[in-house]
Amino acid sequence: MTTTTTGAKSRELQRRAEAAIPGGVNSPVRAFQSVGGEPAFIVKGKGARIWDADGKSYIDYVSSWGPLILGHAAPEVVEAVMAAARNGTSFGASTPAEVELAEAVLAAYPAMEKVRFVSSGTEATMSAIRLARAYTGRKRIIKFEGCYHGHADSLLVKAGSGVATLGIPGSAGVPEELAQLTIALPYNNLKAVEQAFKQFKGEIACVIVEPVAGNMGCVPPAPDFLDGLRYLTSREEALLIFDEVMTGFRLALGGAQELYGTRPDLTTLGKIIGGGLPVGAYGGPAEIMDLVAPLGPVYQAGTLSGNPLAMAAGVATINFLCEHREVYSRMERLTSTLVAMVLDAARDAGVAMVANRVGSMFTFFFSSDAVSDWSSAAKCDVRQFSRFHAAMLHAGIYLPPSQFEAAFMSAAHTAEDVSETVAAATEAMRELGA
Ligand code: KE4
């Protein structure tokens, strides 16, 4: 079976990085621990391709974990950032670009009347939770197993034993007392949500959900799930928060809430709205958002919130998407073809594999059974995934280094890229099925 050995320059960089940075990475998933082998150090990206320190190129389906819907170094984005940088990088004062991006976001998300920019998805969800607790005067929150909303303490929580029980810390350093205020439920399970609202009547501030999950791999909502959450949260006077950090401007301009038609109370965004630079956002009705400082008592702040370079990258990205909406149908077609042909290759090779896809986000699951929540995702054969990942990397195809992540097609990918990817997958499946 193919094993991936990174080039000498990447290995040397990894040695230096591990001496200076925990695990040699600034975000754990980049360490390739789920798939083994050492990560390549990436030095350049252009369009659908990236190049590592040793000059090897890859067709990239990570897309920086979602932000690069236009592909790497999109001219529109690079020019906008360079022009902004010539005027300075940050002022700690309001700038026109913040207003421009805010108006662009509000135009695409009718459920939002006001939006606040922060510097990461984590800050966005952390702030939205704080706002929901302030608005409702309640302390408990509901999240779903397999969904990831960044690393704020209240959201690094696992399900306790049994359904609708008090959460337990999902990370060292998260106090049990805080974790117990989070209820972690099975995704796509409305009965569990109903039971939690009954058990903790009047105590639940909000439900936060990935409307299409990407962090257990791509898992779409069951047909009644999102509307069911809308009904239950409205009935119980709790807020419904759509964490669209990954799905926002990805599945449609208006994200999952446009695609499925369910309107949340609060929305969090990130990734694409920064065009590859650090941006997060949370927004909703003015009645709720006006509780945020300096207007109201909910404090949230950030030195680089609304950073002019990040705003410029976001505005350039969203303007391009607004002016070229056909990219969504083209990405959909390419992704659909890729997934179908890789599934065929797996079947022909006798490899147990299923796939989930929504728009241009997708995941190949090494399982015989459909994946609709964390418990079914967790049954996947992660060793098979690792072998597949290594074979594809060797062939110059860069997939997310974890079975439990979503992959992304960009507007820069071509039919030729898909053909090359399918050919590599067909060869990999022969090795897996042998
Ligand atoms: P950031 O703090 O990483 O910008 O956003 C956190 C976040 C919030 N909500 C959703 C739905 C997300 O997917 C994320 C972050 N996504 C991961 C990828 N699974 C980022 C990659 C990483 O952690 O390095």
Same domain, 177 and 194: yes
Same domain, 287 and 138: yes
The predicted model gives 369-381 an average pLDDT of 97
Could you tell me the distance, in angstroms and rounded to a whole number, from the CA of residue 65 to the centre of ligand 1?
A: 8
pLDDT band, residue 434 (cuts 50/70/90): confident
| 182 touches 132 (CB < 8 A) | no
* pTM confidence score: 0.98
Domain region containing 301: 75-323
Pocket test for ligand 1, best of 154, 171, 215, 277 (most atoms within 8 A of CB): 215
Same domain, 346 and 288: no
Number of domains present in the structure of the chain: 2
The predicted model gives 102-123 an average pLDDT of 98
The predicted model gives 129-150 an average pLDDT of 98
Could you tell me the distance, in angstroms and rounded to a whole number, from the CA of residue 150 to the centre of ligand 1?
A: 5
pLDDT band, residue 50 (cuts 50/70/90): very high
- C-alpha to C-alpha distance for 318 and 97, rounded to whole angstroms: 13
Residue 3 has pLDDT above 80, yes or no: no
CB atoms within 10 A of CB 1: 10
| DSSP 8-state code for residue 51 | E
Residue 167 has pLDDT above 90, yes or no: no
CATH number, domain with residue 193 = 3.40.640.10
Same domain, 89 and 226: yes
CATH number, domain with residue 46 = 3.90.1150.10
Task: Say what percent of the chain tops pLDDT 70.
Answer: 98
Residue 160 has pLDDT above 80, yes or no: no
Q: Where are the alpha helices (DSSP H) in 293-414?
A: 308-323, 326-349, 374-377, 382-394
Lowest mean pLDDT among 74-88, 157-171, 323-337: 157-171
Nearest protein CA to atom 24 of ligand 1, as residue: 27
Same domain, 180 and 311: yes
Nearest protein CA to atom 17 of ligand 1, as residue: 65
pLDDT band, residue 4 (cuts 50/70/90): low
Q: What pLDDT was estimated at residue 159? A: 81
| Active site residue ranges | 148, 243, 271
pLDDT band, residue 395 (cuts 50/70/90): very high
Same domain, 246 and 337: no
Same domain, 98 and 119: yes
The predicted model gives 358-364 an average pLDDT of 98
Adjacency order of strands within the sheet including 57-60: 42-46, 49-52, 57-60, 397-398
- Residue 123 CA: nearest ligand 1 atom is 2
Where among 285, 307, 323 does a domain terminate?
Answer: 323
Flag whether 1 is in a domain: no
- Residue 210 CA: nearest ligand 1 atom is 11
Flag whether 204 is in a domain: yes
Flag whether 299 is in a domain: yes
Residue 207's alpha-carbon distances to 16, 152, 184, 185, 211, in angstroms, are 43, 15, 10, 10, 11
Where among 289, 323, 357 does a domain terminate?
Answer: 323
Residue 24 has pLDDT above 50, yes or no: yes
Residue 199's alpha-carbon distances to 140, 250, 299, in angstroms, are 12, 36, 30
pLDDT tens string 400-431: 999 999 999 999 999 999 999 999 999 999 99
Where among 266, 299, 323 does a domain terminate?
Answer: 323
Q: Which residues make beta-bridge pairs with 384?
A: none
- Residue 29 CA: nearest ligand 1 atom is 24
| 38 touches 10 (CB < 8 A) | yes
Q: What pLDDT was estimated at residue 164? A: 66
Nearest protein CA to atom 21 of ligand 1, as residue: 65
Flag whether 231 is in a domain: yes
Could you tell me the distance, in angstroms and rounded to a whole number, from the CA of residue 120 to the centre of ligand 1?
A: 8
Q: Look over the chain and give the mean of its residue pLDDT values, rounded to a whole number.
A: 96
Could you tell me the distance, in angstroms and rounded to a whole number, from the CA of residue 350 to the centre of ligand 1?
A: 34
